[in-house]
Amino acid sequence: MSSMWNNGIQISVFGESHSAGIGVVLDHLPAGKKIDLDEVQAFLKRRQAKSDGTTTSRIEPDIPKIISGLYDGKTTGTPLAMVIENTNTRSQDYKNLKASMRPGHADYTGYLRYHGQNDIRGGGHFSGRLTACLVMAGAICGQILEEKGIYTGAHLLSVGALKGQKLDTVTLTKEEVLSLRKLPFPVRDPQLREEIIKKINDVRISQNSIGGMIECVCVGMPAGVGSPMLNSLESILSSLIFSVPGVKGLEFGKGFEVASMLGSENNDPFYYDENQKVRTKTNHHGGILGGISSGMPIDFRVAMKPTPSISLAQDTIDVEQKENTTLNIVGRHDPCIAVRAVPVVEACCNIGLLSAMVDQFGVEL
Amino acid sequence: MSSMWNNGIQISVFGESHSAGIGVVLDHLPAGKKIDLDEVQAFLKRRQAKSDGTTTSRIEPDIPKIISGLYDGKTTGTPLAMVIENTNTRSQDYKNLKASMRPGHADYTGYLRYHGQNDIRGGGHFSGRLTACLVMAGAICGQILEEKGIYTGAHLLSVGALKGQKLDTVTLTKEEVLSLRKLPFPVRDPQLREEIIKKINDVRISQNSIGGMIECVCVGMPAGVGSPMLNSLESILSSLIFSVPGVKGLEFGKGFEVASMLGSENNDPFYYDENQKVRTKTNHHGGILGGISSGMPIDFRVAMKPTPSISLAQDTIDVEQKENTTLNIVGRHDPCIAVRAVPVVEACCNIGLLSAMVDQFGVEL
Amino acid sequence: MSSMWNNGIQISVFGESHSAGIGVVLDHLPAGKKIDLDEVQAFLKRRQAKSDGTTTSRIEPDIPKIISGLYDGKTTGTPLAMVIENTNTRSQDYKNLKASMRPGHADYTGYLRYHGQNDIRGGGHFSGRLTACLVMAGAICGQILEEKGIYTGAHLLSVGALKGQKLDTVTLTKEEVLSLRKLPFPVRDPQLREEIIKKINDVRISQNSIGGMIECVCVGMPAGVGSPMLNSLESILSSLIFSVPGVKGLEFGKGFEVASMLGSENNDPFYYDENQKVRTKTNHHGGILGGISSGMPIDFRVAMKPTPSISLAQDTIDVEQKENTTLNIVGRHDPCIAVRAVPVVEACCNIGLLSAMVDQFGVEL
Amino acid sequence: MSSMWNNGIQISVFGESHSAGIGVVLDHLPAGKKIDLDEVQAFLKRRQAKSDGTTTSRIEPDIPKIISGLYDGKTTGTPLAMVIENTNTRSQDYKNLKASMRPGHADYTGYLRYHGQNDIRGGGHFSGRLTACLVMAGAICGQILEEKGIYTGAHLLSVGALKGQKLDTVTLTKEEVLSLRKLPFPVRDPQLREEIIKKINDVRISQNSIGGMIECVCVGMPAGVGSPMLNSLESILSSLIFSVPGVKGLEFGKGFEVASMLGSENNDPFYYDENQKVRTKTNHHGGILGGISSGMPIDFRVAMKPTPSISLAQDTIDVEQKENTTLNIVGRHDPCIAVRAVPVVEACCNIGLLSAMVDQFGVEL
């Protein structure tokens, strides 16, 4: 339909990679919520290009300008709009791409969808750059969630064959979640981190790219939030997660493993703990049952494909000459989009969870 | 938010397992499309309980009554409403469940969400029975898609450790897709089919349940349909798929495998074939690039958890006594919900794809 | 787009005048709200044909069947669906109308919109009969509003040149509002009531029809509910009111009179009353300022056109012969649709106001 | 719900009177439509303050900056975002208003709705200034409509007791519609124009304000566009029109007059004209029957209240001291908001009609 998303919270994402700017409007927010813009900036910084060779060398300051919806450091309750100007653009890099469709990209599908009228510079509205809008929105939503004691975090679980440990979502604490955000590079284990950084650099040097997996978690979500069927928490979150370019898979809790499990193995027994709080002994359900939060940590994993832009020569088509051709992509690209997608996935989680809260409790929450 | 879903096509699902009936309204349909009600019935029949021991013994005729929107065998263009009366209900089976929360079920989360006011008989609105509404809607959408040369199908790819072959979505034909619907039991390979039927029977006899994986495909979807970002085809489809109770994972094309692939491996080279039709040599992207159809077959897989209702004794809580307890579930349950979910997943695919078509081309398509 | 309406509350209306039935789904309702079905029936009865000659002689019992969403007399919080079967239909009356387009009706526009595929029997989905669905929905919403101390009522303000007094919305009480619902015929002043009944009978006997105006009011709406701009209370209410067939005008508070007033006349001065409650000395604003409720009674008026179906010969077109023709409509029709539209307008008000409440305070209200 | 509006076309309005800027996002637009930015600017100029004493003296250049969605002078099909920076702001004028609630304004209702957290400078998000966003959106939509031969126009029909002639919507031509946009002051009759300008000046000098009525028309809308019930053309248009601050009434075609008409008077006879085009002899229905366009000109009228900001002393409340008080409003205000609302109403008409077109025919129109 569009780049608007309408649930409890509503967002409207706009911009193209090389247009005047990119931005997002958040609507139906509670009024009077304190927003720390330094934290918004810090969240955006986690998505920025890095100098360790794991990302593109196009580093943009990404300083959001608040257009409306914040006054005296608090949400006004009316639409909150933010814009980031596009500055560091090299449109000439995309000249030869107009007719040659990059494999794995939206060039061909976008060309058909928009009859060749879409802005193809830097990928236009399809650019991964647009995920900065989701991050801005998610940063705002996250601060409102935190006021309610709800904390989300994400980390890079794997790159290629290098795989880390999933978080233990039975014992998961707020502190562990917060520590994820502090990581200079979003891999938890220091040794694995170095290996992954090295691997991505190797891939980059070989003019290739590589995929990865992201895990996202949330603690503090109150039990009983969400809906069955078409507005299940999973439906809401998935519609956001699959809007992130490059996502090819999403699983909650035990995810695809459930397909080979017995009911007696997969079912998570409920119990009252010593504080009479309801918990489950295991958390295969990933904090969501029947589309509604159970009070246990929410937990999902996202598969990101390798960056489609690689410098190696590739077979493709020229849609103007209507013939097969070979393409060499120049320009600056991330060798592993999963790295910078970590805060994006976390941001989507924030948007989805706050939306479910507002849907259920209204803007007076 | 609710059990309504609003995109190009709009659906409103209603009913509880033991209420007077269940039903669905489809809105914003094209007018004048021929609908074969026998085919709708045949689609529903694929979801019905079977007599081979792989499903519950609660067999309901599931005969949909058309309330409105069809006249002289064609869609009127105004809301199409269908209702199935609930007949074969044994509400007494659920008496002792009111306070004891079934592990893996929505009993506890629904209890909190609706303050104990939801109809818990047979799972109420959370019941897998509600998926018959999605099937009815999907059957209607599917017939309209077929008029456009778009065909969808689904099959059971695995149950427990018993795994079949994924379809080859580069060479996939309409005939192969249609053949999936003819299978008496939705496994393609005859030998594997027997093994799976036996496995499910064994599991059932042992009072347990088991998970499974479903693959869904589509041929004939024209290239250039969909949108980037928040209304990507994946976002639309995922919001429907994750509304099916028991789904814990969803992946498109290569899915989670992309996380360990190189860009040079994952990118699908475009080429003009002998008929000057654009195709890709491989189909790792699963027919969708940048949220928009590429013209290649669409392909995704869904992980279904084992039925949470098992007869084995389980630890759980009693929310009235507020104490830990043990539960023995009686009643009739599917030992493997993945079996009957096959047509449900296909139906969701139909709804999502027709919705994207209507969103882009309007109701005059 | 469709016959669905999505705000805080969501409704899906379906059915055709001569299809199997008509119905409505209400979604995103609070759970556990007591619903008195006798009151729903009484609300519907106010919309039924009367035996005083002011309405059609097609009297249908209009007994709603609850399909889902009510259990033990309370809302479950999941979709509440109601269906009324169509019984007293005389489809043969409409035989000669297929090609001859009734002036003032949707025959011609519906014929184009649905390419002649819409069910034209009895007006199909365009029929005033569909307003029974709005009444059912509004009856449910009204009972939830009353639990919050919010009461709505409507009455027939004028028919032709016979005009009654507007209610005094500064002093309006709950008792006055409730008394409106008790009127056997919805005109407040007994003498005017007799004159109007006589006038409508005269019009009916002369094979003609006549227009009228309805006033709708609400007391008890808390101040501060609603939104500026695109979801103002007026926007929400108007989108419902203009869905009622035959409505041609809507005005809030002083309405069209404001166009000839000075600011000093129109502005309503605020003051604290003896109980420190904020009120306005006059209520020209009709209880809504900036799209948000002020705490003063809400008040609007609706202009209903005369029934387009009249028995007098009328010039029109035959779309099959593509020629001009003359039409004599037979069948049973209301001489003044405004009479039976009174509870419909009140029902729309209920839907809109509960929707705004749920949007702001969530389903936990 | 919010300042987003979701139909065939989607818009998101943001900004506050004294925030960094105001803006609008349009989504689900067709791709490749030529947009003349000078015409957008000319449309905005019609809403600007004038130097003839009929408006505020706060003249802002209102130059929209295109953030995204336009490339090479054509729509890209992805979200089109425009921002106008706020420049000429005098926030100090609003200092004493924080506690004193201006009668007729949204100060009090906004204070409650947003718990005093809304930006009250210049009216914040409630400001009439936000209507510039609707104008920008409507200017874009209007250009796309014109490519389809659909033309809209609006004029000031009355101010106070000074009333002009309604347009003849049976004979109305494109040329007459276009001439409305050329008027230096939006009153058709030159003599009445002078009288109205003088009247408004008199009112301004007397520190008062005055109401007015606007008529809006459209020629060229194809017959058969729209829907019955909840998405009738009237519902769609009304939800936009009632989002314009100060609107208190809306009527289509004969409007409130229908309440005193007979069916034989009000029904518009259809006929085939000499070109076999279907027309009606009269146009009391205002171009819409059953929620769907009839092919006759569309025609509606809007009542605007007098500007609530007047310099005369007014009784009101102080919400901090919680006591009654007297208020003298300083600052620059329009003595008759109806003047500048003329292009706003026309813009809303454009948004609504294009939305209905896209809803029905998709973005490929």
Distance CA D45, CA A237 (A): 43
Which two three-digit tokens encode residue C215? Answer: 């006033």
Please give the ipTM for the structure prediction: 0.97
Contact B301, B242 (CB under 8 A): no
Q: Please report the pLDDT score of residue D217 as a whole number.
A: 98
Q: What angle do CA D180, D183, D184 make, to 5 degrees?
A: 155
Element (H, E) at D196: helix D190-205
Q: What is the pLDDT of residues C169-195, one digit of tens each?
A: 999 999 999 999 999 899 999 999 999
Q: Is the pLDDT of residue A93 over 60?
A: no
Q: Please report the pLDDT score of residue B96 as a whole number.
A: 58
Q: Please report the pLDDT score of residue B365 as a whole number.
A: 82
Q: Is the pLDDT of residue B331 over 90?
A: no
Strands C10-15 and B70-71, how do they pair?
unpaired
Nearest to D230 by CA among C249, C112, C13, C291: C13
Contact with chain A for residue B210, Cβ under 8 A? yes
Does the beta-carbon distance from B20 to C71 stay under 8 Å? no
Does the beta-carbon distance from D79 to A125 stay under 8 Å? yes
Strands A288-289 and B4-6, how do they pair?
unpaired
Nearest to A125 by CA among B230, C282, C119: B230
Residues in chain B closer than 8 A to A130 (CB atoms): 228-229
Contact with chain A for residue D91, Cβ under 8 A? no
CA B222 to chain centroid: 22
Q: What is the pLDDT of residues C115-133, one digit of tens each?
A: 999 988 888 999 999 999 9
Q: What stretches of A127-189 show up as alpha helix (H) in DSSP? A: 131-147, 174-182
On the CB side of D80, CA atoms within 13 Å amount to 30
Distance CA D247, CA C258 (A): 9
Query: Binning pLDDT at 50, 70 and 90, where does residue A82 land?
Result: very high
From the list A11, A259, A263, the residue facing B308 with the nearest CB is A263
**How many H helices and E strands in chain D?**
8, 18
Element (H, E) at A155: strand A151-159
Neighbours of chain C (3+ CB pairs under 8 A): A, B, D
From the list A78, A228, A362, the residue facing C362 with the nearest CB is A362
Residue D290 to chain A, least CA–CA distance (Å): 26
Contact with chain C for residue D90, Cβ under 8 A? no
Contact with chain D for residue A125, Cβ under 8 A? yes
> What is the share, in percent, of chain B residues with pLDDT greater than 70?
97
Bridge partners for A13 per DSSP = A24
Residue D87 to chain B, least CA–CA distance (Å): 33
Residue C346 to chain B, least CA–CA distance (Å): 24
Q: Please report the pLDDT score of residue A210 as a whole number.
A: 98
Does the beta-carbon distance from D68 to A20 stay under 8 Å? yes
The residue-averaged pLDDT of C199-228 equals 97
Contact with chain B for residue A274, Cβ under 8 A? no
Does the beta-carbon distance from D359 to B361 stay under 8 Å? no
Does the beta-carbon distance from A31 to D125 stay under 8 Å? no
Contact with chain C for residue A224, Cβ under 8 A? no
Contact with chain C for residue B267, Cβ under 8 A? no
Contact with chain D for residue A31, Cβ under 8 A? yes
Does the beta-carbon distance from D25 to A25 stay under 8 Å? yes
Contact C104, C316 (CB under 8 A): no
Neighbours of chain A (3+ CB pairs under 8 A): B, C, D
DSSP class of A354 = H
Distance CA C224, CA D111 (A): 8
CATH classification of the domain holding A339:
3.60.150.10
Residues in chain D closer than 8 A to B228 (CB atoms): 78
Residues in chain A closer than 8 A to B337 (CB atoms): none
Contact with chain D for residue C264, Cβ under 8 A? yes
Q: What is the pLDDT of residues A192-234, one digit of tens each?
A: 999 999 999 999 999 999 999 999 999 999 999 999 999 999 9
Does the beta-carbon distance from C1 to D103 stay under 8 Å? no
From the list A28, A80, A115, the residue facing D32 with the nearest CB is A115
Q: Please report the pLDDT score of residue A92 as a whole number.
A: 59
Q: Please report the pLDDT score of residue A94 as a whole number.
A: 58
Note down pLDDT in tens along chain D; length 365 residues.
578 998 999 999 999 999 999 999 999 999 999 999 999 999 999 999 888 889 887 777 889 999 999 999 999 999 999 999 998 666 555 555 678 999 999 999 999 999 999 988 888 999 999 999 999 999 999 999 999 999 999 999 999 999 999 999 999 999 999 999 999 899 999 999 999 999 999 999 999 999 999 999 999 999 999 999 999 999 999 999 999 999 999 999 999 999 999 999 999 999 999 999 999 999 999 999 999 999 999 999 999 999 999 999 999 999 999 999 999 888 778 999 999 999 999 999 999 999 999 999 999 98
Contact B90, B331 (CB under 8 A): yes
Q: Torsion-angle region of residue A362: left (phi > 0), alpha (psi -120 to 50) or beta?
A: left
Which two three-digit tokens encode residue B54? Answer: 């792989």
Which two three-digit tokens encode residue C118? Answer: 């819409």
Contact B333, B307 (CB under 8 A): yes
Question: Model-level pTM?
Answer: 0.97
Residues in chain C closer than 8 A to B75 (CB atoms): 117
Q: Please report the pLDDT score of residue D333 as a whole number.
A: 84
The residue-averaged pLDDT of B132-142 equals 98
Does the beta-carbon distance from A79 to D25 stay under 8 Å? no
Interface test with A, best of B262, B317, B320 (most A CBs within 10 A): B262
Query: Binning pLDDT at 50, 70 and 90, where does residue B259 land?
Result: very high
Q: How many domains does chain D have?
A: 1
Residues in chain D closer than 8 A to C211 (CB atoms): 258-262, 266
Distance CA C196, CA D35 (A): 55
Residue entry with tokens 């005109």: C187
Q: Which of A17-31, A343-357, C117-131, C211-225 has the lowest mean pLDDT?
A: C117-131
Contact with chain A for residue D21, Cβ under 8 A? yes
Give the range of the structural domain holding residue B123, as residue numbers without chain letter.
Answer: 4-361
Distance CA A116, CA A284 (A): 46
Contact with chain D for residue A77, Cβ under 8 A? yes
Does the beta-carbon distance from B78 to C16 stay under 8 Å? yes
